[in-house]
Structure 1
């Protein structure tokens, strides 16, 4: 009874974990969509020169987020199906999926920790380039991009003697002149903080899923199932019961038959 109870508890915990993993997959999809479609990112990515690393970083973050979403979704579905069908093959597949997730999530956590300064510097370099072009009055497109950036981030210019720009009222609609460098840095820090939180939560459920799937895989004896619950198998239907032969009439093997 103790072993059966542990198996049932593990099955329930794995199903609950699959539910939370599906929620995490939806959250990762939302954050990926924000990264790819939010004007806070697209305005600077679109204004960046072709040789800037910001474009490759942006596309890499979107591709990574989509990969994590798909793996979370598939692993949760396979795990739930393995519990419902009591299949060792599906359980082993779920364990392998959790293993892939573990590697990918660890790589993402390491990258966000080591390359966050590179991401921040890339975005700020794009803003500095636009800002300097407006100071030199070399491009009308740069002025439009700067106005859009100020409207999106609700800021105006930079500190350090660069706020005295000719015709600043044309592209600074805010009366309070907030430093755009600090606001852009703060927005990036908040976004990366939520990304790391989702990756850590996903990593925790991934490790827990690996433990549960391995336990259930070895708890399921080969050729048997956890709990039949009144179900019957026809695998041994041709095996004759003791004391009978294969030539015994079928009517004599039926229950409650009357001998005439």
Structure 2
């Protein structure tokens, strides 16, 4: 396979990879918006706690997801445009976007491997704090916030490790609410699928960004060396090849456009020596005399 065939194959692969990277960026943005503005996440993050453990993790996950989605979308758009137009500058921008996206994905993957249940633990800690405030203070505000969380997750209270609940704890779950599942298990069962989807998207994103980075680097160097390779006949962009016109040798151009200079004769040399060159009557007058 020659250089031209390799470049064509790389361009086709770059277009396909950019399409999948664009889909990945849109998926990450959609998931970040759902997790940030969804009812389950909003009801926990907007509690009246002074130090909400879930709110900081919630905001960090949203901004990280949106930044990553923006980088991947930008890289896919720049790489596709650069592949079609054979533009080195656009391809360099796509390479930089893919490299930054890979760094963020690697950091997210490392964080997930070290703290796989950090988001779940933050949500459970927030619920425990609201539950304790509602039980201890018997405040109507805390009971409303606790009821909002339980209605959103379709759960009620939490099971006591001793098997018996106090009077206030038992009064929180009455009637149909008493048949609901434990809120600790309900929150975990609703948040774990989101975490699994996030892990899957992170793995796919790592593979796509690595492949797209190598492709963009190869095409960037190919577009850069296209002018120098053209003289040796290996590779040249099609647009430049059509616009380039063959140039004639300089000797041939002189023979067509300008008279060919003749070597000076003996008489011209003598006339040039006495300052008479250019006067046609000078040498003839000397010969007559």
TM-score computed with the length of structure 1 as normaliser:
0.84
Cα distance in 1 between the residues matched to 2:6 and 2:143: 66
Classify 1:2/1:232 alpha carbon distance in 2 versus 1 (closer, same or farther; 3 Å): closer
Which deviations, in whole Å up to 9, do the C-alpha atoms of 1:181-236 show, x marking residues without a partner?
Answer: 012122222211111111111111100101211222333424256541696336x7
1:110-259, aligned counterparts within 5 Å?
Answer: 110-160=110-160, 161=163, 165-169=169-173, 173-174=176-177, 176-220=179-223, 221-223=225-227, 226-228=236-238, 232-233=242-243, 240-241=248-249, 243-245=252-254, 248=257
Of structures 1 and 2, the larger Rg is shown by 2
Structure 2: give runs of 5+ residues left out of the alignment. Answer: 259-289
Classify 1:79/1:36 alpha carbon distance in 2 versus 1 (closer, same or farther; 3 Å): same
Cα distance in 2 between the residues matched to 1:247 and 1:94: 50
Deviates more, 1:110-119 or 1:123-132: 110-119
Structure 1: give runs of 5+ residues left out of the alignment. Answer: 250-260
Count of residues in correspondence between the two structures: 246
Query: What secondary structure does 1:157 align onto?
Result: coil
What is the RMSD computed on CA atoms of the aligned residues? 2.6
- Structure number with the bigger relative contact order (C-alpha 8 A, sep ≥ 6) is 1
Deviates more, 1:33-42 or 1:112-121: 112-121
TM-superposed CA distance for 1:97, in Å, is: 1.8
Verify: 1:12 aligned to 2:12, yes or no. Answer: yes
| Alignment check: 8 A CA contact 1:86 1:226 kept | no
Which deviations, in whole Å up to 9, do the C-alpha atoms of 1:167-190 show, x marking residues without a partner?
Answer: 3356x7445230110121222222
